[in-house]
Amino acid sequence: MIGVIAKPDQRPVVEEFFELFKTPWEFYRAGTSYEVVIATAGEIPQPAVRLLISYGAARQGDGRLGFIPAERFAGATVSDTDGPLPVYGDVLTFKQDQPRDVCLRANVGIVGLRSDSANGGIIRVGFDLFEEVRCLLSSGQPVENAHIPALDVHVSMLRRWILAAGIPLVEIPPTPAGRDFAVCLTHDIDFVGIRRHKLDHTMWGFLYRSTAGALLDAIRGRLPARRLLRMWQAAASLPFVYLGWAKDFWEPFAWYLKTEENLPATYYLIPFKGRPGEQVAGRGAARRATAYDISDVKEWAARLLNEGCEIGVHGIDAWHDAGKGRDELARIAEVTGAAGVGIRMHWLLRNAETASILDESGYAYDSTAGYNETIGYRAGTTQVYRPHGARRLLELPMHIQDGALFYPTRLGLSEPEADERCQRLIGVARRLGGVLTVLWHDRSHGPERFWGDFYVRLVGALRSSNAWFGTGAQVVGWFRQRRQVRFERVDVAGASRLVVRHPGGEIAPMACVRIYRPSARGASIDAAPDAIDIPWNGLTAIELDADLRPVVGIPEQLPAMASL
């Protein structure tokens, strides 16, 4: 059991952190025994524990703990085995004083020291873990650090330190049992065909980009001749599309259903057409209005639901107005009949109050936390989380967006470069678990973008991985079940036991109870621990003894567990 000593205003942040690092913990109670104590408060007691981890950039208590502070900096980049880790708050460096071991270095100096003794170990870290978590879950990361899953690295670092101290650990990993990670395929539907756009900005923009604009790109060597010809053919076919004699090449639903056959996906549909929305900055704000809404595609909506897909809200004003958020939700819900509806804001608009406004509006989840400019981890995590200001609303982070990859004014990548970037994120998901959320827009498969072939390959790569595919609602629902898991410490016949319990019924797909068996105390801090996974549907409580050895509640199909 981990005891946490935090500043009073950090309590909500601590609670959310341990929903991501799902392991037994509680706020520190004097007189209670703990294997690990994590402290960020200024005054730290001296509990008899196997490991004390003291975080913070303040100098209070360091003399008593035996550490010598050096300088203080506003931010730093830490070198970790999982890669560089940006620290956004204040950082305190230390002077090295043997035999204390350096366990964390940064570009500004030593920021982590470890001291071992017969009475227990102490790790002193020169930044505040929970202030970093607060920053990530509220402000998020700047574009230049988007590729770093910073919050997940903090979790991984803490886990390694505990195991390196020889302390066993039980955790509910952020992925269903037997899977490496989850995948959520999503589509923002801004257009449902070019037939709805006659002699407007959208039509003229398409004609320019697919004719003169395409020719200029070909001359510059940015567009192959084969794709140039396809663009010209599409432009030439436009009159026949309007007459109904040729297929509308911007119609998205049939193509995505074929490409994602037997895979659930989420479609975010516009609730009201002709509304650009309020408080939208920029010269192009009026172009945010769409030429369709869900009432125009009811037949497709019914088919998508019948195919196991999900329909959510592509919000217009919900990001800043709870009343309008409720109207947008009601418009989609009357077609879908769904009890829990998710949302992603059109143009990814949001502000500091958006999470609480969407929560008040009644949305089950939001999936706006992502980047228009790049791909990666705005909140620094692969996991579904509760954003700052929300009570029930959860956030499904968005990681890969087509426009961010290919638009010349954004990353402007070639397809091989984009594939390399996406493979990196797939690798992170495979290593850390969580969910990889992909956004591919409605007309990205057709002219003049022609990003469909790349998407087919991306979906094929994800199919071949050991991933679980779910709609946004399904993925968020699974993480919500994981959040309901409780760890209870009880005494049975004078012996302490840990009970893993799920009060919310069956977990589907099954979760995993992971038991780490660490190396001997004093081993390398980067030593790989042994771990055993127990698939668990949550219907039966699992009891573990003081050494985290299973006592009862282990499925019969796992006889090897007795070897623990």
CA distances from residue 19 to 48, 155, 172, 188, 213 in whole angstroms, order as listed: 26, 11, 10, 29, 49
Q: Is the dihedral of CA 102, 105, 110, 114 positive or negative?
A: negative
Three-class SS string for 385-450? ECCCCCCCCEECCCCEEHHHHHCCCCCCCCHHHHHHHHHHHHHHHHHHCCEEEEECCCCCCCCCCC
Which residue, 176, 161, 164, is CA-closest to 513? 176
HSE of 129, CA atoms in CB hemisphere, 13 A:
28
Q: Is 57 within 8 Å of 131 (Cβ atoms)?
A: no
Give the per-residue pLDDT at 102: 87
- From the options 3.40.140.10, 3.30.930.10, 3.30.390.30, 3.20.20.370, give the CATH code of 181-193+250-478: 3.20.20.370
Give the per-residue pLDDT at 281: 86
What SS3 state is found at 110? strand
Residue 435 CB neighbours (<10 A): 27
Neighbouring residues of 524: CB distance < 8 A, sequence distance ≥ 6:
164
For 547, counting Cβ atoms within 10 Å of its Cβ (0-12 exposed, 13-18 middle, 19+ buried), the class is exposed
What are the residue boundaries of the structural domains of the chain, listed by start? 2-167, 181-193+250-478, 195-243, 485-563
Cα separation, 426 vs 400, in Å, equals 10
What SS3 state is found at 20? helix
| CATH no. of 2-167 | 3.40.50
Run of H or E including 342: strand 342-345
Give the per-residue pLDDT at 121: 87
Sheet holding 495-501, edge to edge: 486-492, 495-501, 542-544, 550-552
Give the per-residue pLDDT at 552: 65
- 200-205 contacts, C-beta under 8 A, 24 or more apart: 200/291, 201/287, 202/291, 203/238
What average pLDDT values come out for the chain (564 residues) when binned by 10 residues?
94 97 94 90 73 88 78 93 92 78 91 81 94 96 97 96 93 97 98 89 87 86 84 89 90 96 97 94 87 95 96 97 97 89 96 96 97 97 96 98 95 95 97 97 92 97 97 98 94 81 94 85 57 93 86 50 32
Cα separation, 442 vs 445, in Å, equals 7
Which residue, 544, 521, 433, is CA-closest to 170? 544
Q: Would residue 106 be called left, alpha or beta, if left means φ above 0 and alpha means ψ between -120 and 50 degrees?
A: beta
DSSP string, 441-486: -TTTTSTTT--HHHHHHHHHHHHHSSEEE--HHHHHHHHHHHHT-E
Run of H or E including 88: strand 83-95
Neighbouring residues of 332: CB distance < 8 A, sequence distance ≥ 6:
269, 271, 294, 311, 312, 313, 338, 341
Give the per-residue pLDDT at 553: 56
